Amino acid sequence: MGEKSKKGGWCGWIIVLIVAAAAAGAIVVLVMKKHKDSSSDAASGASEKKYGDALKIAMQFFDVQKSGKLVNNKIPWRGDSAIKDGSQEKLDLSQGMYDAGDHMKFNFPMAYTATVLSWAILEYGDQMKGVGQLEPAQDSLKWITDYLINCHPKDNVLYIQVGDANADHKCWDRPEDITEARPLIQINASTPGTEVAAETAAAMAAASLVFKSKNSGYSSNLLKHAKQLFTFADRYRGTYSENIPEVATYYNSTGYGDELLWAASWLYHATGDQTYFDYATGKNADSFGNFGNPTWFSWDNKLAGTQVLLSRVSFFNSKVSNSDTLQEYRKTAEAVMCGLLPKSPTATSSRTDSGLIWITQWNALQHPVASAFLAVVYSDYMLTSKTGKMTCDGNEYTPSDLRKFAMSQANYVLGDNPAKMSYLVGYGDKYPQYVHHRGASIPTDADTNCKEGWKYLDSTEPNPNVATGALVGGPFLNETYIDSRNNSIQGEPTTYNSAVIVGLLSGLVSTSSVVQSFT
Protein backbone atom coordinates (compact mmCIF):
# COMPACT_ATOMS: atom_id res chain seq x y z
CA MET A 1 0.00 0.00 0.00
CA GLY A 2 1.15 3.54 -0.55
CA GLU A 3 1.67 6.22 2.03
CA LYS A 4 -0.94 8.84 2.73
CA SER A 5 0.26 12.14 1.38
CA LYS A 6 -0.77 15.78 1.31
CA LYS A 7 -0.47 18.13 -1.63
CA GLY A 8 0.13 21.27 0.38
CA GLY A 9 3.38 23.20 0.40
CA TRP A 10 6.07 22.63 2.94
CA CYS A 11 4.66 25.48 5.00
CA GLY A 12 7.89 27.08 5.97
CA TRP A 13 9.51 23.66 5.59
CA ILE A 14 8.17 22.44 8.93
CA ILE A 15 8.97 18.85 9.83
CA VAL A 16 6.10 16.49 10.51
CA LEU A 17 6.35 15.30 14.11
CA ILE A 18 5.89 11.61 14.58
CA VAL A 19 5.23 9.69 17.74
CA ALA A 20 6.01 6.35 16.16
CA ALA A 21 9.43 7.45 15.05
CA ALA A 22 10.32 8.75 18.47
CA ALA A 23 9.09 5.62 20.06
CA ALA A 24 10.97 3.46 17.64
CA GLY A 25 14.06 5.20 18.26
CA ALA A 26 14.21 24.05 -29.27
CA ILE A 27 13.89 21.82 -32.07
CA VAL A 28 17.53 20.88 -32.44
CA VAL A 29 18.70 17.81 -30.57
CA LEU A 30 22.22 18.21 -29.22
CA VAL A 31 24.66 15.37 -28.76
CA MET A 32 25.38 14.56 -25.11
CA LYS A 33 28.76 15.97 -24.11
CA LYS A 34 30.95 15.39 -21.12
CA HIS A 35 31.06 18.41 -18.86
CA LYS A 36 33.55 18.37 -16.02
CA ASP A 37 32.09 19.27 -12.66
CA SER A 38 34.16 21.25 -10.20
CA SER A 39 33.43 18.62 -7.57
CA SER A 40 36.23 16.06 -7.64
CA ASP A 41 33.90 13.44 -6.17
CA ALA A 42 31.31 14.03 -8.89
CA ALA A 43 33.96 13.67 -11.57
CA SER A 44 35.62 10.59 -10.13
CA GLY A 45 35.32 7.35 -12.02
CA ALA A 46 34.80 5.44 -8.79
CA SER A 47 31.79 7.54 -7.89
CA GLU A 48 30.28 7.19 -11.34
CA LYS A 49 30.81 3.42 -11.28
CA LYS A 50 29.03 3.23 -7.94
CA TYR A 51 25.97 4.95 -9.33
CA GLY A 52 26.08 2.83 -12.47
CA ASP A 53 26.22 -0.35 -10.40
CA ALA A 54 23.34 0.86 -8.23
CA LEU A 55 21.30 1.75 -11.32
CA LYS A 56 21.65 -1.79 -12.67
CA ILE A 57 20.26 -3.09 -9.38
CA ALA A 58 17.47 -0.50 -9.03
CA MET A 59 16.15 -1.27 -12.49
CA GLN A 60 15.45 -4.88 -11.53
CA PHE A 61 12.58 -4.05 -9.21
CA PHE A 62 10.41 -3.20 -12.20
CA ASP A 63 10.79 -6.84 -13.28
CA VAL A 64 9.91 -7.98 -9.77
CA GLN A 65 6.66 -5.99 -9.93
CA LYS A 66 5.42 -7.05 -13.36
CA SER A 67 1.94 -8.50 -13.68
CA GLY A 68 0.70 -10.64 -16.55
CA LYS A 69 2.34 -13.22 -18.77
CA LEU A 70 6.03 -12.57 -18.29
CA VAL A 71 8.23 -12.31 -21.37
CA ASN A 72 11.95 -12.96 -20.98
CA ASN A 73 11.43 -13.23 -17.24
CA LYS A 74 14.62 -12.31 -15.41
CA ILE A 75 13.38 -12.95 -11.87
CA PRO A 76 13.62 -16.68 -11.07
CA TRP A 77 11.05 -16.58 -8.29
CA ARG A 78 8.43 -14.74 -10.36
CA GLY A 79 5.98 -16.25 -12.83
CA ASP A 80 2.83 -15.39 -14.75
CA SER A 81 0.09 -13.79 -12.67
CA ALA A 82 -3.24 -11.94 -12.91
CA ILE A 83 -3.67 -13.20 -16.47
CA LYS A 84 -7.44 -12.70 -16.38
CA ASP A 85 -7.40 -9.12 -15.08
CA GLY A 86 -9.99 -7.09 -16.97
CA SER A 87 -11.69 -10.11 -18.50
CA GLN A 88 -15.08 -9.26 -16.94
CA GLU A 89 -15.15 -6.19 -19.22
CA LYS A 90 -13.54 -8.05 -22.14
CA LEU A 91 -10.32 -6.09 -21.63
CA ASP A 92 -6.75 -7.30 -21.27
CA LEU A 93 -5.54 -5.56 -18.11
CA SER A 94 -3.11 -8.34 -17.24
CA GLN A 95 0.00 -6.18 -17.62
CA GLY A 96 1.03 -3.17 -15.59
CA MET A 97 2.87 -3.43 -12.32
CA TYR A 98 1.91 -4.20 -8.75
CA ASP A 99 2.06 -1.12 -6.63
CA ALA A 100 4.13 -2.23 -3.65
CA GLY A 101 4.36 -5.36 -1.53
CA ASP A 102 0.74 -6.15 -2.36
CA HIS A 103 -1.01 -7.15 -5.58
CA MET A 104 -2.97 -4.01 -6.31
CA LYS A 105 -2.79 -2.01 -9.51
CA PHE A 106 -3.36 1.58 -8.47
CA ASN A 107 -3.17 3.58 -11.68
CA PHE A 108 -2.66 7.00 -10.11
CA PRO A 109 0.83 6.21 -8.75
CA MET A 110 1.52 3.76 -11.61
CA ALA A 111 0.99 6.49 -14.21
CA TYR A 112 3.29 8.78 -12.19
CA THR A 113 5.86 5.99 -12.28
CA ALA A 114 5.62 5.92 -16.08
CA THR A 115 5.89 9.71 -16.37
CA VAL A 116 8.98 9.93 -14.17
CA LEU A 117 10.63 6.92 -15.83
CA SER A 118 9.99 8.54 -19.22
CA TRP A 119 11.49 11.80 -17.99
CA ALA A 120 14.58 9.98 -16.74
CA ILE A 121 15.02 8.23 -20.09
CA LEU A 122 14.57 11.48 -22.02
CA GLU A 123 17.14 13.35 -19.94
CA TYR A 124 19.60 10.55 -19.27
CA GLY A 125 19.07 7.88 -21.90
CA ASP A 126 22.71 8.10 -23.01
CA GLN A 127 23.90 7.51 -19.45
CA MET A 128 21.52 4.56 -19.13
CA LYS A 129 22.79 3.17 -22.41
CA GLY A 130 26.38 3.48 -21.22
CA VAL A 131 25.70 1.00 -18.41
CA GLY A 132 23.39 -1.24 -20.43
CA GLN A 133 20.14 -0.06 -18.86
CA LEU A 134 18.41 1.95 -21.58
CA GLU A 135 16.67 -1.00 -23.19
CA PRO A 136 15.53 -2.45 -19.84
CA ALA A 137 14.15 0.98 -18.90
CA GLN A 138 12.26 1.24 -22.19
CA ASP A 139 10.92 -2.30 -21.79
CA SER A 140 9.70 -1.58 -18.26
CA LEU A 141 8.07 1.63 -19.40
CA LYS A 142 6.28 -0.14 -22.24
CA TRP A 143 5.01 -2.80 -19.83
CA ILE A 144 3.15 -0.01 -18.04
CA THR A 145 2.05 1.99 -21.08
CA ASP A 146 0.69 -1.13 -22.84
CA TYR A 147 -1.51 -1.59 -19.80
CA LEU A 148 -2.53 2.08 -19.64
CA ILE A 149 -3.58 2.00 -23.30
CA ASN A 150 -5.84 -0.96 -22.56
CA CYS A 151 -7.26 0.88 -19.55
CA HIS A 152 -8.57 3.56 -21.95
CA PRO A 153 -11.10 1.76 -24.20
CA LYS A 154 -13.20 4.90 -24.91
CA ASP A 155 -12.49 8.62 -25.04
CA ASN A 156 -14.18 9.36 -21.70
CA VAL A 157 -13.65 6.05 -19.93
CA LEU A 158 -10.51 5.13 -18.02
CA TYR A 159 -10.06 2.14 -15.75
CA ILE A 160 -8.01 3.32 -12.78
CA GLN A 161 -7.73 0.32 -10.45
CA VAL A 162 -7.59 -3.45 -10.60
CA GLY A 163 -8.29 -5.33 -7.39
CA ASP A 164 -10.21 -4.70 -4.18
CA ALA A 165 -7.73 -3.21 -1.73
CA ASN A 166 -9.63 -4.41 1.34
CA ALA A 167 -9.83 -7.98 0.06
CA ASP A 168 -6.27 -7.90 -1.24
CA HIS A 169 -4.85 -6.82 2.10
CA LYS A 170 -6.60 -9.66 3.87
CA CYS A 171 -4.39 -12.09 1.98
CA TRP A 172 -0.71 -12.95 2.17
CA ASP A 173 0.05 -14.92 -0.98
CA ARG A 174 2.27 -14.91 -4.02
CA PRO A 175 0.96 -13.00 -7.07
CA GLU A 176 1.09 -16.28 -9.00
CA ASP A 177 -1.45 -17.74 -6.53
CA ILE A 178 -4.04 -14.95 -6.42
CA THR A 179 -7.54 -16.37 -5.90
CA GLU A 180 -9.43 -13.33 -4.62
CA ALA A 181 -11.73 -11.38 -6.93
CA ARG A 182 -10.14 -8.69 -9.10
CA PRO A 183 -12.85 -6.03 -9.56
CA LEU A 184 -12.26 -2.95 -11.72
CA ILE A 185 -12.85 0.71 -10.98
CA GLN A 186 -13.36 3.23 -13.76
CA ILE A 187 -13.80 6.97 -14.13
CA ASN A 188 -16.07 8.43 -16.78
CA ALA A 189 -18.06 11.54 -17.62
CA SER A 190 -20.52 11.00 -14.77
CA THR A 191 -17.86 9.88 -12.27
CA PRO A 192 -14.82 11.96 -13.19
CA GLY A 193 -11.31 11.65 -11.80
CA THR A 194 -9.34 14.52 -13.25
CA GLU A 195 -6.02 13.83 -11.56
CA VAL A 196 -5.81 10.19 -12.70
CA ALA A 197 -6.86 11.02 -16.25
CA ALA A 198 -4.40 13.92 -16.40
CA GLU A 199 -1.52 11.91 -14.91
CA THR A 200 -2.18 9.14 -17.40
CA ALA A 201 -2.17 11.75 -20.19
CA ALA A 202 1.19 13.02 -18.89
CA ALA A 203 2.58 9.48 -18.83
CA MET A 204 1.49 8.76 -22.38
CA ALA A 205 2.73 12.11 -23.71
CA ALA A 206 6.13 11.65 -22.08
CA ALA A 207 6.37 8.03 -23.22
CA SER A 208 5.44 9.04 -26.78
CA LEU A 209 8.70 11.00 -26.85
CA VAL A 210 10.66 8.02 -25.55
CA PHE A 211 9.40 5.78 -28.35
CA LYS A 212 9.29 8.40 -31.12
CA SER A 213 12.40 7.20 -32.92
CA LYS A 214 12.25 3.60 -31.69
CA ASN A 215 8.62 2.81 -32.62
CA SER A 216 6.87 5.69 -34.36
CA GLY A 217 3.52 3.92 -34.65
CA TYR A 218 3.43 3.13 -30.96
CA SER A 219 4.50 6.69 -30.16
CA SER A 220 1.65 8.09 -32.25
CA ASN A 221 -0.85 5.84 -30.51
CA LEU A 222 0.36 6.98 -27.10
CA LEU A 223 0.06 10.61 -28.13
CA LYS A 224 -3.48 10.05 -29.42
CA HIS A 225 -4.49 8.59 -26.05
CA ALA A 226 -2.70 11.41 -24.22
CA LYS A 227 -4.65 14.08 -26.07
CA GLN A 228 -7.97 12.31 -25.54
CA LEU A 229 -7.30 11.81 -21.84
CA PHE A 230 -6.24 15.41 -21.32
CA THR A 231 -9.45 16.63 -22.93
CA PHE A 232 -11.42 14.20 -20.75
CA ALA A 233 -9.59 15.31 -17.60
CA ASP A 234 -10.12 19.00 -18.30
CA ARG A 235 -13.71 18.84 -19.54
CA TYR A 236 -15.05 16.63 -16.75
CA ARG A 237 -13.37 17.96 -13.66
CA GLY A 238 -13.62 16.19 -10.32
CA THR A 239 -11.39 14.71 -7.65
CA TYR A 240 -11.32 10.95 -8.07
CA SER A 241 -11.02 10.14 -4.37
CA GLU A 242 -14.09 12.24 -3.62
CA ASN A 243 -16.14 10.68 -6.39
CA ILE A 244 -14.90 7.17 -5.55
CA PRO A 245 -14.39 7.27 -1.75
CA GLU A 246 -13.03 3.73 -1.47
CA VAL A 247 -9.78 4.73 -3.16
CA ALA A 248 -9.03 7.44 -0.58
CA THR A 249 -7.57 5.06 2.02
CA TYR A 250 -4.52 4.30 -0.08
CA TYR A 251 -3.99 7.06 -2.66
CA ASN A 252 -6.14 9.96 -1.65
CA SER A 253 -5.77 12.99 -3.89
CA THR A 254 -5.68 16.44 -2.42
CA GLY A 255 -6.43 18.25 -5.69
CA TYR A 256 -6.15 17.94 -9.45
CA GLY A 257 -4.84 21.33 -10.58
CA ASP A 258 -1.20 20.23 -10.46
CA GLU A 259 -1.89 17.22 -12.70
CA LEU A 260 -3.61 19.43 -15.28
CA LEU A 261 -0.58 21.72 -15.47
CA TRP A 262 1.80 18.73 -15.50
CA ALA A 263 -0.09 17.01 -18.31
CA ALA A 264 -0.33 20.20 -20.39
CA SER A 265 3.41 20.72 -19.96
CA TRP A 266 4.21 17.23 -21.18
CA LEU A 267 1.81 17.55 -24.09
CA TYR A 268 3.52 20.80 -25.08
CA HIS A 269 6.89 19.04 -25.09
CA ALA A 270 5.45 16.11 -27.05
CA THR A 271 3.60 18.16 -29.68
CA GLY A 272 5.07 21.66 -29.75
CA ASP A 273 1.43 22.81 -29.87
CA GLN A 274 1.15 26.34 -28.49
CA THR A 275 -2.31 25.52 -27.15
CA TYR A 276 -0.83 23.34 -24.42
CA PHE A 277 1.77 25.97 -23.54
CA ASP A 278 -0.99 28.58 -23.26
CA TYR A 279 -2.96 26.21 -21.05
CA ALA A 280 -0.03 25.75 -18.66
CA THR A 281 0.82 29.46 -18.55
CA GLY A 282 -2.66 31.01 -18.75
CA LYS A 283 -5.59 31.20 -16.36
CA ASN A 284 -5.01 27.64 -15.18
CA ALA A 285 -1.56 28.66 -13.97
CA ASP A 286 -3.19 31.51 -12.08
CA SER A 287 -5.60 29.04 -10.49
CA PHE A 288 -3.28 26.15 -9.74
CA GLY A 289 0.35 27.33 -10.03
CA ASN A 290 0.85 28.28 -6.37
CA PHE A 291 3.85 30.35 -7.45
CA GLY A 292 6.41 31.30 -4.84
CA ASN A 293 5.49 28.39 -2.58
CA PRO A 294 7.84 25.41 -2.80
CA THR A 295 6.23 21.99 -2.62
CA TRP A 296 7.44 18.39 -2.49
CA PHE A 297 7.40 16.34 -5.69
CA SER A 298 5.44 13.11 -5.30
CA TRP A 299 2.75 10.91 -6.79
CA ASP A 300 0.24 13.30 -5.23
CA ASN A 301 1.81 16.65 -6.09
CA LYS A 302 3.37 17.42 -9.46
CA LEU A 303 3.91 21.17 -9.04
CA ALA A 304 7.66 21.04 -8.36
CA GLY A 305 8.11 18.67 -11.28
CA THR A 306 6.10 20.97 -13.54
CA GLN A 307 8.14 23.97 -12.44
CA VAL A 308 11.40 22.21 -13.30
CA LEU A 309 10.04 20.83 -16.58
CA LEU A 310 8.85 24.26 -17.73
CA SER A 311 12.15 25.75 -16.59
CA ARG A 312 13.64 23.62 -19.37
CA VAL A 313 11.64 25.77 -21.81
CA SER A 314 12.88 28.93 -20.11
CA PHE A 315 16.50 27.75 -20.34
CA PHE A 316 16.43 26.51 -23.93
CA ASN A 317 13.61 28.08 -25.95
CA SER A 318 14.30 31.77 -26.50
CA LYS A 319 11.04 32.26 -28.41
CA VAL A 320 8.93 31.79 -25.28
CA SER A 321 11.46 32.21 -22.47
CA ASN A 322 10.38 35.79 -21.82
CA SER A 323 6.88 34.77 -20.83
CA ASP A 324 6.09 36.29 -17.43
CA THR A 325 4.32 33.15 -16.25
CA LEU A 326 7.16 30.96 -17.48
CA GLN A 327 9.52 33.04 -15.37
CA GLU A 328 7.22 32.47 -12.38
CA TYR A 329 7.59 28.73 -12.92
CA ARG A 330 11.36 29.09 -13.03
CA LYS A 331 11.50 31.35 -9.97
CA THR A 332 9.47 28.83 -8.00
CA ALA A 333 11.66 26.00 -9.26
CA GLU A 334 14.67 27.92 -7.95
CA ALA A 335 12.89 28.38 -4.64
CA VAL A 336 12.56 24.61 -4.50
CA MET A 337 16.28 24.25 -5.23
CA CYS A 338 17.20 26.87 -2.63
CA GLY A 339 15.21 24.98 -0.03
CA LEU A 340 17.13 21.80 -0.78
CA LEU A 341 20.64 23.25 -0.57
CA PRO A 342 21.76 22.76 3.04
CA LYS A 343 23.76 26.01 3.25
CA SER A 344 21.11 28.19 1.64
CA PRO A 345 19.51 30.90 3.82
CA THR A 346 16.15 29.39 2.90
CA ALA A 347 17.18 25.76 3.43
CA THR A 348 14.49 23.49 4.76
CA SER A 349 14.94 22.27 8.31
CA SER A 350 13.02 19.15 7.30
CA ARG A 351 16.00 16.80 7.33
CA THR A 352 17.74 14.36 9.61
CA ASP A 353 20.91 15.17 11.55
CA SER A 354 22.89 13.48 8.78
CA GLY A 355 21.32 15.64 6.09
CA LEU A 356 18.64 13.41 4.58
CA ILE A 357 15.54 15.32 3.51
CA TRP A 358 12.83 13.88 5.74
CA ILE A 359 9.13 14.76 5.50
CA THR A 360 7.02 11.85 6.65
CA GLN A 361 7.50 8.54 8.40
CA TRP A 362 5.61 6.51 5.79
CA ASN A 363 7.89 5.85 2.82
CA ALA A 364 10.32 8.47 4.04
CA LEU A 365 12.78 8.04 1.17
CA GLN A 366 10.34 9.03 -1.56
CA HIS A 367 10.75 12.75 -0.93
CA PRO A 368 14.55 13.04 -0.63
CA VAL A 369 15.11 10.88 -3.70
CA ALA A 370 12.50 12.74 -5.76
CA SER A 371 13.96 16.06 -4.60
CA ALA A 372 17.47 14.94 -5.51
CA PHE A 373 16.27 13.85 -8.95
CA LEU A 374 14.85 17.32 -9.58
CA ALA A 375 18.07 18.88 -8.29
CA VAL A 376 20.32 16.94 -10.64
CA VAL A 377 18.03 17.71 -13.58
CA TYR A 378 17.99 21.44 -12.76
CA SER A 379 21.75 21.38 -12.29
CA ASP A 380 22.16 19.93 -15.78
CA TYR A 381 19.82 22.54 -17.25
CA MET A 382 22.08 25.20 -15.77
CA LEU A 383 25.24 23.51 -17.07
CA THR A 384 23.91 23.03 -20.57
CA SER A 385 22.63 26.60 -20.84
CA LYS A 386 25.89 27.93 -19.34
CA THR A 387 23.95 29.42 -16.44
CA GLY A 388 26.72 29.68 -13.87
CA LYS A 389 24.76 30.54 -10.76
CA MET A 390 21.43 31.06 -9.10
CA THR A 391 20.63 33.23 -6.10
CA CYS A 392 19.04 32.20 -2.84
CA ASP A 393 18.16 35.21 -0.70
CA GLY A 394 21.28 37.05 -1.85
CA ASN A 395 23.64 34.07 -1.77
CA GLU A 396 24.92 32.53 -4.99
CA TYR A 397 25.02 28.81 -5.76
CA THR A 398 26.28 26.83 -8.73
CA PRO A 399 25.19 23.72 -10.61
CA SER A 400 27.89 21.89 -8.68
CA ASP A 401 26.16 22.77 -5.40
CA LEU A 402 22.94 21.20 -6.62
CA ARG A 403 24.78 18.12 -7.81
CA LYS A 404 26.54 17.73 -4.47
CA PHE A 405 23.16 17.84 -2.74
CA ALA A 406 21.78 15.19 -5.10
CA MET A 407 24.83 13.01 -4.47
CA SER A 408 24.44 13.38 -0.70
CA GLN A 409 20.91 11.96 -0.87
CA ALA A 410 21.94 9.15 -3.20
CA ASN A 411 24.93 8.29 -1.02
CA TYR A 412 22.73 8.18 2.07
CA VAL A 413 20.42 5.70 0.35
CA LEU A 414 23.38 3.56 -0.74
CA GLY A 415 24.85 3.23 2.75
CA ASP A 416 26.47 6.50 3.81
CA ASN A 417 24.20 6.82 6.83
CA PRO A 418 24.34 6.15 10.59
CA ALA A 419 22.99 2.63 10.12
CA LYS A 420 25.72 1.91 7.54
CA MET A 421 23.06 0.09 5.56
CA SER A 422 21.93 0.39 1.96
CA TYR A 423 18.22 1.02 1.60
CA LEU A 424 18.41 -0.25 -1.99
CA VAL A 425 17.88 -4.00 -1.69
CA GLY A 426 20.70 -5.95 -3.29
CA TYR A 427 23.22 -3.12 -3.24
CA GLY A 428 26.21 -3.34 -0.91
CA ASP A 429 27.00 -5.80 1.84
CA LYS A 430 24.18 -4.79 4.18
CA TYR A 431 20.60 -4.14 3.15
CA PRO A 432 17.11 -5.06 4.49
CA GLN A 433 16.46 -8.78 4.70
CA TYR A 434 12.82 -8.66 5.81
CA VAL A 435 11.28 -6.50 3.10
CA HIS A 436 7.50 -6.18 3.39
CA HIS A 437 6.76 -7.91 0.10
CA ARG A 438 4.55 -10.97 -0.29
CA GLY A 439 6.25 -12.56 -3.26
CA ALA A 440 9.70 -12.14 -1.74
CA SER A 441 8.62 -13.58 1.60
CA ILE A 442 7.09 -16.86 0.38
CA PRO A 443 9.16 -19.75 -1.01
CA THR A 444 8.37 -20.52 -4.65
CA ASP A 445 7.57 -24.15 -3.81
CA ALA A 446 5.20 -23.30 -0.96
CA ASP A 447 1.63 -24.49 -1.34
CA THR A 448 -0.28 -21.54 0.07
CA ASN A 449 -3.48 -19.64 -0.52
CA CYS A 450 -4.89 -16.36 0.70
CA LYS A 451 -5.05 -17.39 4.35
CA GLU A 452 -2.29 -19.95 4.71
CA GLY A 453 0.47 -17.59 3.68
CA TRP A 454 0.32 -15.44 6.80
CA LYS A 455 2.86 -17.63 8.56
CA TYR A 456 5.47 -16.25 6.17
CA LEU A 457 4.68 -12.69 7.19
CA ASP A 458 5.34 -13.64 10.81
CA SER A 459 8.36 -15.84 10.13
CA THR A 460 11.61 -14.89 11.84
CA GLU A 461 13.59 -16.10 8.82
CA PRO A 462 14.83 -13.60 6.21
CA ASN A 463 12.94 -13.45 2.94
CA PRO A 464 13.74 -16.52 0.83
CA ASN A 465 13.60 -14.38 -2.32
CA VAL A 466 15.50 -11.12 -2.69
CA ALA A 467 13.40 -8.25 -4.04
CA THR A 468 16.43 -6.91 -5.87
CA GLY A 469 16.25 -3.22 -6.62
CA ALA A 470 13.54 -2.43 -4.10
CA LEU A 471 13.90 0.96 -2.47
CA VAL A 472 12.34 0.45 0.95
CA GLY A 473 10.50 3.15 2.88
CA GLY A 474 13.58 4.16 4.83
CA PRO A 475 14.61 5.52 8.20
CA PHE A 476 12.71 7.29 10.91
CA LEU A 477 13.60 10.88 11.73
CA ASN A 478 16.07 9.64 14.35
CA GLU A 479 17.73 7.62 11.53
CA THR A 480 16.85 4.21 12.91
CA TYR A 481 15.47 1.40 10.82
CA ILE A 482 13.64 -1.67 12.10
CA ASP A 483 14.18 -4.55 9.69
CA SER A 484 10.93 -6.41 10.28
CA ARG A 485 8.52 -7.80 7.72
CA ASN A 486 5.63 -6.44 9.78
CA ASN A 487 7.11 -2.95 9.61
CA SER A 488 5.40 -1.80 6.42
CA ILE A 489 5.97 1.87 7.32
CA GLN A 490 9.72 1.46 6.81
CA GLY A 491 10.10 -1.82 4.96
CA GLU A 492 7.61 -1.72 2.10
CA PRO A 493 8.98 -0.75 -1.33
CA THR A 494 6.93 0.93 -4.04
CA THR A 495 7.22 0.99 -7.80
CA TYR A 496 7.15 4.78 -7.89
CA ASN A 497 10.12 4.84 -5.51
CA SER A 498 11.93 2.87 -8.19
CA ALA A 499 11.13 5.52 -10.81
CA VAL A 500 12.70 8.35 -8.82
CA ILE A 501 15.80 6.38 -7.72
CA VAL A 502 16.36 5.25 -11.33
CA GLY A 503 16.09 8.87 -12.44
CA LEU A 504 18.48 10.09 -9.76
CA LEU A 505 21.10 7.39 -10.34
CA SER A 506 20.92 7.87 -14.11
CA GLY A 507 21.66 11.56 -13.66
CA LEU A 508 24.67 10.78 -11.49
CA VAL A 509 26.23 8.08 -13.69
CA SER A 510 28.23 10.80 -15.42
CA THR A 511 28.32 14.57 -15.49
CA SER A 512 27.03 15.72 -18.83
CA SER A 513 24.86 18.24 -20.58
CA VAL A 514 21.31 17.36 -21.56
CA VAL A 515 19.55 17.63 -24.89
CA GLN A 516 17.95 21.02 -25.45
CA SER A 517 14.81 19.54 -26.97
CA PHE A 518 13.06 16.19 -26.63
CA THR A 519 11.61 16.38 -30.15
Q: Which of 279, 281, 340, 346 is nearest to 307 (CA)?
A: 281
Choosing from 225, 367, 436, 437, the catalytic residue is 436
> Cβ distance 99 to 108 under 8 Å?
no
Q: If DSSP codes are grouped into helix, strand and coil, which group holds residue 185?
A: strand
Q: How many CB atoms lie within 10 A of CB 130?
A: 18
Q: Which amino acid is at 284?
A: N
Q: Which of 3, 10, 7 is nearest to 340 (CA)?
A: 10
Distance between CA 161 and CA 128 in Å, rounded? 31
Torsion of CA 331, 336, 341, 345, to 10 degrees: 70
What's the Cα-to-Cα distance from 242 to each of 193, 194, 253, 254, 288, rounded to whole Å? 9, 11, 8, 9, 19
Q: Which of 13, 8, 7 is nearest to 359 (CA)?
A: 13
3-state SS of the chain: helix, strand, coil percent to 5? 50, 5, 45
> Cβ distance 250 to 164 under 8 Å?
no
Query: How distant is the alpha carbon of residue 120 from its chain centre?
Result: 10
Would residue 436 show up in a list of annotated catalytic residues for this protein?
yes
Active site residues per annotation: 436
